[in-house]
Structure 1
Amino acid sequence: MLIIGHREVRDILKGKEPEILQVVADAHRLYGEGLAGPSGSVCEGTTRAGAGIVLGSPADGSPEVFVEASIILAKRAGASAGLAAGLLRTEPEPRGLALVGLGPVNLEVLRFVKARFHSLIELTVFDPDEERAIVFAREARKIVPGAAVHYAETPEEAVAAHKLVSLSATATTPHPGPQAARPGTTVLDWAEPAARAGDFRAPSIGALLRDPGGVRPDPDRVTVCSPSGPAALDLALARWVADQAQRWRIGVRIDDFLPATLTAPAVPVTTSV
């Protein structure tokens, strides 16, 4: 059993946005619809609790790798949002992004949208927790150096500020919905999307990737998309992390984790006549 801890996962994923986008895109194409994974909400100003993923052997299903997965969940969410933004934008090169609910998911959304669009230079943010908003803005400026960061007084003000919006409800933030969005806005809604009459609810990211020309966002309507996707996406990214860890000999290996009957080499059996 290979154990890959939080620090190792963080180091493996750091600066690997293009690779993560590719892994997540391939997984979306392959797995399509499915059970949505955790959204990475925050509670009382803290990041979401740790999570673990166990990867089994393709041969017999026995556990091979245990991965600390809280960063994986957030990175996969951010990558999904970056893919959706690229597929559903109505502006060729978006310059602004609105973020409502300033937890770890929206920080990764910002990271991957920036990786997708180098044109991004302006952010409008909202969270009822002023301290969390300040901390988020500080981290945001590291991701988008020189960005203008505006603090909205209401979620509706933030939603109306740009034509690319990410709504991530937290434990202390009511979900505002896309009601204040302007025509031509793409809303990445981490709750169940609730499109208004006249809005367009986009299909899954997997469907969009399999048929890129099948959906064309309407500049006269609001497009609402849920980037959550199936939990299998987390497994795909965890497997990529595990492959990198094994390649670079990262992590802690426990050779006697499994019962001896599962790990002992086969003993030839001879019979006499």
Structure 2
Amino acid sequence: MTVIGAGAITAETDRHRPELVDVVRAAYLAHDAGDSANPHSSFLRFPDQRRSRIISLPAYLGGAFEVAGNKWIASFPDNTQHGIPRASATLILNDCITGYPFACMESSIISATRTAASAVLGAQTLLGARRARRVGMVGTGLIAQHVWRFLRDLEWEIDAFRLFDLDPAAAGRFAAVLAKDTEAELVAVDNVEEAFTDCDLVVLSTVAGEPHLHDPRLLAHHPVVLHLSLRDLAPEMILAAQNFTDDVDHAVRERTSLHLTEQRTGNRDFIDGTLADLLRERLDRDPTRPAIFSPFGLGVLDLAVGKWVYDRVISAGGGHRVSDFFSGVGA
């Protein structure tokens, strides 16, 4: 068993974001080809902490990856009040021949990395270029920061940002971070609607547990919306747009906005397809309509990024090897 901590993982992901987008693309295409197994995630909830949860994401990914494993990720939003991050996670990687786990990795960084890589891949695919005149960001926490780093390192052309957070100080701090790396206009706005107005790309990365955006007129200018937090948009907004996800069966559950829309309409006809459909050119975005990408976040993506990081760390002689981890197995 090899244990790999956050420092070694960050060192690899920080240096290779363009390559990681290709890793995520390859994982999506392998999953689309049926070279994967991705059971539904399991949600552990707490009766006295309604906002908190721990999620288990087991998966197998074949193709160039050939790895199985499980991500165990906790989301406790009140952590931030105590000065610690909301999310914590571990990723176990298993050998597909013996079934033995061979790596235990810190995974909040892997999780944020694959989420941001997936988002930016979706944005480029739906916009048709690495160009957004104005970007609105709703929620300015860890995921928003990772999305920005991918936009920056993939050299997106962006003229302006509109930043909204329920905590205005957080939006201000995020603006200060962006100011170090971009000459784009940066405005921390006072209401969420301003993060949509005249933005051709909108990134939703909140901790919302239920819809708080209800007015389809926010989409009247046909933006691309990256609905990363999955529960921000009311059904009337979903029904006003073209809708894409990463896996329909996964995304339409657990009271996501897509799930609530299915419950209202009694069908899934409002979902146009998946990101893989777009990548394989089986579908096209209609530029005369808003487009919403609501990726559920598949376990196969964690495996892809985790295995890529593991291979690089091991090849450099890193990681902490525990030779006597398993009973009855010699060093």
What TM-score, normalized by structure 2, do the two folds share? 0.71
**Aligned CA distance change for structure 1 residues 39 and 3 (closer, same or farther; 3 Å):** closer
**Aligned CA distance change for structure 1 residues 157 and 94 (closer, same or farther; 3 Å):** same
Instruction: Give the unaligned 5+ runs of structure 1.
Output: 265-273
Counterparts of 1:161 and 1:183 in 2: how far apart (Å)? 7
Aligned counterpart, 1:114: 152
Matched residue SS, 2:102: strand
* 1:220 corresponds to 2:288: yes
Residue 161 of structure 1 aligns with an amino acid whose one-letter code is D
Matched residue SS, 2:87: coil
CA RMSD of aligned residues (A): 2.7
Are the aligned partners of 1:82 and 1:113 in contact in 2 as well (CA < 8 Å)? Answer: yes
Aligned counterpart, 1:244: 312
Describe the superposition over 1:62-88 as per-residue Cα deviations: whole angstroms up to 9, x where unpaired: 111110000010010000011000110
**Aligned CA distance change for structure 1 residues 21 and 41 (closer, same or farther; 3 Å):** farther
Deviation at 1:39, TM superposition (A): 10
Residue 150 of structure 1 aligns with an amino acid whose one-letter code is V
Counterparts of 1:96 and 1:8 in 2: how far apart (Å)? 34
Deviation at 1:28, TM superposition (A): 1.0
Q: How does 1:154-169 map to 2 (within 5 A)?
A: 154-169=191-206
Higher relative contact order (CA 8 A, sep 6+): 1
Q: Which has the larger radius of gyration?
A: 1
* 1:204 corresponds to 2:274: yes
Counterparts of 1:19 and 1:201 in 2: how far apart (Å)? 27
Residue 191 of structure 2 aligns with an amino acid whose one-letter code is T
Q: Out of 35, 50, 55, which is 2:88 matched to?
A: 50
What TM-score, normalized by structure 1, do the two folds share? 0.85
* 1:233 corresponds to 2:271: no
Deviation at 1:109, TM superposition (A): 1.6
Aligned counterpart, 2:98: 60
* 1:6 corresponds to 2:6: yes
**Aligned CA distance change for structure 1 residues 130 and 188 (closer, same or farther; 3 Å):** same
Counterparts of 2:3 and 2:243 in 1: how far apart (Å)? 41
Counterparts of 1:257 and 1:114 in 2: how far apart (Å)? 41
Counterparts of 1:178 and 1:106 in 2: how far apart (Å)? 23
Q: Out of 186, 203, 209, which is 2:224 matched to?
A: 186
Structure with the higher strand share, 1 or 2: 2
Residue 27 of structure 1 aligns with an amino acid whose one-letter code is A
**Aligned CA distance change for structure 1 residues 96 and 115 (closer, same or farther; 3 Å):** farther
Deviation at 1:49, TM superposition (A): 2.9
Work out the number of aligned pairs and report it: 260
Q: How does 1:34-49 map to 2 (within 5 A)?
A: 34=38, 35=40, 42-43=77-78, 44=80, 46-49=84-87
Deviation at 1:40, TM superposition (A): 6.9
Counterparts of 1:70 and 1:91 in 2: how far apart (Å)? 29
Deviation at 1:216, TM superposition (A): 2.6
Describe the superposition over 1:223-262 as per-residue Cα deviations: whole angstroms up to 9, x where unpaired: 11113331211111111111011100111111111112x3
Matched residue SS, 1:20: helix
Counterparts of 1:208 and 1:60 in 2: how far apart (Å)? 36
* 1:31 corresponds to 2:31: yes
Percent identity between matched residues is 28
* 1:85 corresponds to 2:127: no
Deviation at 1:111, TM superposition (A): 2.0
Matched residue SS, 1:85: helix
Counterparts of 1:121 and 1:39 in 2: how far apart (Å)? 36
Aligned counterpart, 1:22: 22
Q: How does 1:118-137 map to 2 (within 5 A)?
A: 118-137=156-175
Counterparts of 2:29 and 2:168 in 1: how far apart (Å)? 39
Aligned counterpart, 1:100: 138
Are the aligned partners of 2:163 and 2:187 in contact in 1 as well (CA < 8 Å)? Answer: yes
